[in-house]
Amino acid sequence: MAFLHAAGSKVSSLKERRSLLPYLLLAPGIIWLFTFFVLPIVNLARTSTQTPIANGDTGSYEQTYRFANYIDAFIDNKEQFSRSFIYAFLATVLALAIAYPLAYGIAFKSGKYKNLLLVLVVAPFFTSFLLRTIAWKQILGEEGPVIAILRGIQIIGDNTSLTASAFAVVTGMTYNFLPFMTLPLYASLERIDPRTMEAAGDLYANAFTTFRKVTVPLSMPGVVAGTLLTFIPAAGDYVNAAILGNPNTKMLGNVIESRFFKIVDYPTAAALSFTLMAAILILVTIYIRKAGTEELV
């Protein structure tokens, strides 16, 4: 390598051009992200402390640095706020429970069909997200198979329905965010050297102990990535709650959406957006610390 460096220093203009090259490559994309991601977020922060102009039109606001907007917004919507996090948590746990054995089976038990099965895991998500959510409304609906079976074996009564409920919202969320859980899990399981598991077996660990002491710890990066990729969009989602829920299952996303469009209350929408983001960031930081995989981010 040393001779390469020597050759490089001889042609100093080339070297200068080279040191500039990465910035030229970065510039267009970074400028785009700065203009259409960073600036809007800064602008949203400014909007969040505005108040309505006295005697002004609906939707006109002035900057008064009223930080109490955050407190008001939180107190008015604390139910939706906690609901967002409870639903997102339930959906993440359920998705993990469904995706882990699936990813495990694909990585270790499917031989030459591995790639085909992996495609099949992602395939359902080629149909529109909204069509799938509406399909759940039909599946869980009065005419659907699930309710007929559950009523048939008398788990639920004739007057109980499954749609327009928290159950339906969580089911839809679990389903819709499943690939975000399955793919990172598969990626980290697939990377495990099968010889580590054989070694555990040679050392008289039974199948369950091997799984618990070898497979699970080695797949932790996938678990962490998958839960984050599921939890973050789930906490901010409002489509599942809008289609599969009822007025008592509204999440924070529904409130932000209606504050924006129906009530044109931009400051409250902005304050709620920031509260949501801050809460997610805090939870994610704690989680990553606890999971002990800081190299991930």
Residue 76 vs residues 125, 243, 268: alpha-carbon distances, Å? 36, 23, 10
> Between helices 178-190 and 220-236, what is the axis angle to 10°?
170
Q: Is 132 in the site for other proteins (CB under 8 A)?
A: yes
Q: Is 102 in the site for other proteins (CB under 8 A)?
A: yes
Report the distance separating Cα 65 and Cα 67, nearest Å.
6
**Under 8 Å between Cβ of 272 and 255:** yes
**Residue where the block lists tokens 């909204």:** 130
Q: Is 173 in the site for other proteins (CB under 8 A)?
A: no
Q: Is 239 in the site for other proteins (CB under 8 A)?
A: yes
Binding span for other proteins by CB under 8 A among 17-25, 72-80, 160-168, 287-295: 17-25
With CA atoms as reference, report the closest residue to 47 among 59, 37, 58, 36. 59
In the bound state with other proteins, the residue whose beta carbon lies nearer, of 74 and 129, is 129
- Which of 233, 288, 291, 293 is the binder for other proteins (CB under 8 A)? 233
- Which of 52, 93, 141, 167 is the binder for other proteins (CB under 8 A)? 141
Output the smallest distance, CB 18 to other proteins, in A.
Answer: 8
Q: Is 95 in the site for other proteins (CB under 8 A)?
A: no
Cα pseudo-dihedral 98, 82, 42, 50, rounded to 10: 160
Burial class (CB in 10 A: 0-12, 13-18, 19+), 256: buried
- Which of 7, 11, 26, 199 is the binder for other proteins (CB under 8 A)? 26
Residue ranges of E strands in 207-296: none
Q: Is 168 in the site for other proteins (CB under 8 A)?
A: no
Restricted to residues 31-90, the positions that interact with other proteins (CB under 8 A) are 32-34, 36-41, 43-44, 47
Binding span for other proteins by CB under 8 A among 72-80, 147-155, 160-168, 262-270: 262-270
Q: Is 247 left (phi over 0), alpha (psi -120 to 50) or beta?
A: alpha
With CA atoms as reference, report the closest residue to 48 among 281, 280, 278, 266. 266
In the bound state with other proteins, the residue whose beta carbon lies nearer, of 28 and 194, is 28
Q: Is 98 in the site for other proteins (CB under 8 A)?
A: yes
One symbol per residue from 184 to 223: x for binding other proteins (CB under 8 A), - otherwise; what is it? Answer: ----------------------------------------
The distance from CA 72 to its chain's CA centroid, rounded to whole angstroms, is: 27
- Which of 68, 129, 151, 212 is the binder for other proteins (CB under 8 A)? 129
Output the smallest distance, CB 236 to other proteins, in A.
Answer: 2
